[in-house]
Structure 1
């Protein structure tokens, strides 16, 4: 370990360098305080009055001086070494600091020309912060240089590694707040260093900022004795460098030395791997920065200690407009930074303040890596016909849809081998989800130890597996936000683990769509498989289709949900999702053998339409249907077609329409979702007055929620998963949830006027089949032969 003690650190800075670094830091601190408090008098050219202060004080001061210190010293090391760098700002509400740094370097004005780098611009900068019509208090999409939403903690480090993958010339600094350091996702993401390839990837420099407190409680890592903390970080595979203190000059010297030491070590490790052929897993540096919370702010307020305590977390002086003493303290606090030394009479930063600032795209707020759409290239996707399964007639053959998709993904991985801008991530499930064909093009990224029995591990691999859904999601988000492509494959039931993470990503996308300077990025694509209906072997714990409900609650402009019913439709949907921009695409598809219903040409047309009539499956004969059998999902589609076949044989005079839905948002009204149908389209497809029996992959009430405003909604009856699961046979799962073919036939009989009497015997036969099923599986442990051996004979 390299330890830097601020009381004994050697003077690695000249006096001129120290002066200019301190000037930049003081200027950033001044701007941070101004954003939290002021709406006028930005340069204090007159005594501070209550009307100069915002009526509502919102923001977080406690973390800001530490973040400003990091920004200042990153500037120095980027400028002196001509580095290509990006910073992930983990502390949740560090917005004032990052905005301050961006404004000082000019990237903020470059992005927002009305926020000029002078007194008038400073006034607008201050007023807009946490103000109606302004900008958020945390680092957000509106902040130049950011790819990480500060509204939720835990993901900074995984985002940083995602940004570094396949970016060999990039240094990604990552500030981790001591509150964030306590979260489970952050704890798991320390293991990302076992996946970072020093040859093809960039470097991540974690900066663990321990200022002692969270909102109201001590921070766990800040209270660990230094030797114990070192053991923890060394156990994660890092080499700690400590910077501790509260004397600005000493801390500046120590921080400069720490940054130089870290960058030197990173350079040496990369050189060893890239030029000397070293294969040992590197021990990457981590900087542990300990400074007081609310450093340089008010020491005491109303007789209580503030600096260095949890009381400085948000707004240290909360009653400035109403309390003269607080107003006096605020003015003294602002003047303590000596703004007249930092800004000229026009409010422009003086040369000393800008001496450490890099130029052009080297500035942290101007790096194109934080606006990944600028770097994005089209993904080289092959022709789908190469992978299409032949379909001479519907339902005559079976394939495993995800295995077919795996063949296509193998070629995508191979086509991007030279440019390295596509990754497949998942929690230890690539082969389980039948995507193992990709291993022929790229193995699994792995930098830790290996054994002879291991398979497909590859120091330079681009398949990412770690049994932490949070880390997978963070990696992929960081990768996409910096201008690359990818796919997240996961068991359907456990993708819920990242519910809150995808929330933040969707909010990010919705916001960036309204920022013209943000270029569109590749969509976040989920492939959810091992799904609810074919987790009969794993049981109830693995049966949950609710992620779709969660996604469809989010911004309609950013979310898409697809339920392809067979292999060819999965290929078509995946091709569309991988080409798309600025969406979250959720694709739910099975990995078990599934009937092939559509040719590739038919699949493309059907998926483009999103929902449509399968004429070959129904018995309309040109007239209005007596009933509509609708389906969404592979197992529901099979059950609907089996029900249609039963009705054809048992009630040949009945006119039945079969409708398949691939794009679930098509059920919404057009004014609610870009993919929604007009009432005219919907009524033409589902009718306004005929019973619609809808077999749906997930929770049935979602379909009712999507269609409740439709004219025919009173006639809509949905079958789906009702949270009834166990370890059983595949068909018993649909029987238990009343979505089986026999139950669907009974639903038609029950809802078509006049059919209950005419078809009473047919209904009884369906009920008898269900009873026979229950007895059969308890004796034989397998499904009824007429179910297990069923095929479409239409």
Structure 2
């Protein structure tokens, strides 16, 4: 790139600002005391334990100072995403220099004492992490786990037409699957109504101990790759600071001019052609400006610069190297004797909310506004008697979500994300309110595609859907991710990181709560009989409940009315991860809307219309959690009540899974007294559960009646088969549940034994029937509550 017309004086001040950021970064990694080297550096001035990452940091400091110039010169609304988030020293240093850090943390003041505290707290017990963590102003992306920066950046600019996200992509991160796919996000960005993402691919050549792939291919190949993704790359390469400053300034000005031209063409001229957005490739040495040679080995420009290049406590000669390194930045020319950045350098930073550390988009709870929600009761399924066949629970939910979209269209703060499964998951009604957002080519016969829309489901990548939604939520909006249950596992680790962010940020009073991350998991394990074993896995919730109780919520609405009530609650909630598991196929509807609201509010309860213990001590508790387990439990109860009418049976249905935990373990947990009132202290409990059975044991192991819990659920048995056979293969069908009950009720005697044999025969008859006819027996397909168990004759 050729240099733009910036004065030498300005470039020199920018270089000094960069040196100040580098000095603060090195100080954070190494110094315990003596922050401005006002006396010779001693070993006591060095932290006893050195943690942090130097390699990426000087490059990020270089980028940050140039973005500051761009923001200030053009009055831009911009935030910064640090893909190599372990460059935490850079974002902390720069937010400190611009003043936003000290405004949030007044004890980290802009003076000598504040510098000392700033340095000491970094990667230190009682201090701050080494990444771009929630504690850091301006961060929406910690970057501790690599791969998601670009997805978060795009999520942040959806419906933020004036926002630019400068997203630094590390060359190591660029090798991850999610990041490699995220380059395609430019096919989903509407230049008329969305903001812009400016990716800055930082090629410093190395990862932890290996070269990076993109740094070891030819310039031609790299440029072809990026252009093939649909980007216009501008290259800035070198190591001489003066030349690099001029080249970077020129590249940024050219990229900004292109962004603004693209947006003007779309917004003023109606140009709907998909643009080739600009990006920058910055090639600079790893560990730039750091020690070049240590103990005879190259550091700057090699993988050895990745973390901490010097260890004075282990190698005394390193102390002098560290002192020389720090002095090479000439801190006496950057800070006054009181430890304050010189005024002519401080003047380079933007002011107020234009500072990237103070931009409200990077603290989304500040901008969050409630959704306008229709009354979910208006979408109720009429239930004249329990067990009436419905159209499918998610198909009941679809019109409600359609109207959520409509009622928030003007605010443009709600989107639904999914990996090409929205129609399959029974949510077609949403397309009555909005098309899919898609900026690539369209052809005759395509459905619901448009340059702008509330639904983003045209990319078959769970990683991108999750990353886009997280970026959208982190910048103060609302959303929902709908997905096949088995394949939500693909984003297990992304969920981990977001849950950790929520946990930490909940303890920061300056970060208001965000809208909850809402998952709707459907096409679930018990109704993937047509796709087979690969599509049958309910284990995501086992993963979810590992996270902090203050963060996670898991719901299993048994029918459409309960799903409406649960989803309304989730969309109103703040700072949680809500997992809702529901079916899409026609299924019985059990509760009226009034009863559903009462049941979902309680989260767990006795279904008295299905029970016959009449407030007496039951002989047996039949518990269920999930739509199919509820169906099979009630079918088993109907058999038991018809054949063994003297049994006192209590039916307990669980909507809110966390109600099973003790109240000391989860805010939704039941007290021991309330739990025992439902499940008794000594009666057998046959529990049919949607997912892996051991999760129920894990949640209830402290309960007094836990030894009497017998749980049936998915146990990794599956194939292409019939819906009912899926339950039979996993011993969760009505016949097995009846046998499990009899095995724990010796008082049933001979009649119980006879019934048990009938159940065994029914399982045999079922298997013979499906192999011959390819569908479930009529008495299974047509069974309805209250119509009798229709027990077959042996």
Report the TM-score, using the length of structure 1 for normalisation.
0.98
Which residue does the alignment assign to 1:108? 101
Aligned with residue 525 of structure 1, among 518, 525, 539 = 518
Q: Cα distance, 1:458 vs. partner?
A: 1.0
Segments of structure 2 that go 5 or more residues without pairing to the other structure are 788-794
Q: Give the 3-state SS of the residue equivalent to 2:746 in structure 1.
A: coil
Check if 1:361 corresponds to 2:358. Answer: no
Matching residue within 451, 455, 467 for 2:447: 455
Aligned counterparts of 1:45 and 1:525: Cα–Cα separation in 2: 53
Partner of residue 430, structure 2: 438
Report deviation, 1:11. 4.8
The aligned runs of 1:347-746 (5 Å cut-off) are 347-465=339-457, 466-746=459-739
Q: Hey, what's the Cα distance between the residues in 2 that align with 1:328 and 1:753?
A: 82
Q: Which residue number in structure 2 is paired with residue 183 of structure 1?
A: 176
| 1:754 and 2:782 correspond | no
CA distance in 2, matches of 1:37, 1:81: 36
Q: 2:259 aligns with which of 252, 262, 266?
A: 266
Q: Distance in 2 between matches of 1:403 and 1:113?
A: 52
CA deviation map 1:327-384 (0-9, x unaligned): 0000000000000010001000002322320000000100000100100010011001
> Offset at 1:399?
2.6
Taking the aligned partners of 1:83 and 1:601, their CA distance within structure 2 comes to 51
Provide the C-alpha distance between the structure 2 equivalents of 1:396 and 1:15, rounded to a whole number of angstroms. 79
1:308 maps to which of 301, 326, 331 = 301
Cα distance, 1:398 vs structure 2: 1.8
The 5-angstrom pairing of residues 286-301 of structure 1 reads 286-301=279-294
Q: Determine the C-alpha separation between the residues in 1 that align with 2:594 and 2:743.
A: 37
Residue from 251, 268, 275 that aligns with 1:275: 268
The answer as to whether partners of 1:39 and 1:123 remain within 8 angstroms in 2 is yes
- In 2, Cα distance between the equivalents of 1:23 and 1:683? 69
Tell me by how many angstroms 1:621 deviates.
2.7
Q: Is the 8 A contact 1:51 1:321 kept in 2?
A: no
Which residue of 1 is the match for residue 792 of structure 2?
A: none
Partner of 1:99: 92
For residues 237-264 of structure 1, what are the alpha-carbon distances to aligned partners after superposition, in whole Å with 9 as ceiling and x for unaligned? 0000000010001100011111111101
User: 2 CA distance for matches of 1:46 and 1:321?
Assistant: 19
Which residue of 2 is the match for residue 789 of structure 1?
782
Contact 1:391 1:397 in 2 (8 A): no
Q: Aligned ranges for residues 27-66 of structure 1 at < 5 Å?
A: 27-66=20-59
The equivalent residue for 1:127 is 120
Q: Deviation at 1:278?
A: 0.7
Q: Is the 8 A contact 2:525 2:535 kept in 1?
A: yes
For structure 1, the residue ranges without an aligned partner over 5 or more in a row are none
Compute the RMSD of aligned alpha carbons. 0.8
Cα distance in 2 for partners of 1:12, 1:744 equals 80
Taking the aligned partners of 2:749 and 2:463, their CA distance within structure 1 comes to 52
What's the offset of the Cα at 1:784? 1.1
- Aligned pair count reads 786
Pairing partner for 2:153 from 126, 137, 160 = 160
In 1, the alpha carbon distance for the partners of 2:463 and 2:616 equals 52
> Which 10-residue stretch deviates more, 711-720 or 322-331?
322-331
CA distance in 1, matches of 2:489, 2:314: 47
Asked if the contact 1:427–1:469 (Cα under 8 Å) also holds between the matched residues in 2, the reply is yes
SS in 2 for 1:585: strand
Q: Contact (CA 8 Å) 2:660, 2:670: kept in 1 or not?
A: yes
* Residue aligned with 2:504, SS: helix
Q: Comparing 498-507 with 409-418, which one deviates more in the overlay?
A: 409-418
TM-score for the superposition, normalised by structure 2: 0.98
Q: C-alpha deviations, 1:541-600, integer Å up to 9, x for none?
A: 000000010001111110000000000000000000000000000000000011110111
Task: Find the aligned partners of 2:772 and 2:299 in 1 and give their Cα distance.
Answer: 73
Secondary structure of 1:521's aligned partner:
coil
Q: Is the 8 A contact 2:3 2:249 kept in 1?
A: no
CA contact (8 A) 2:621 2:650 kept: yes
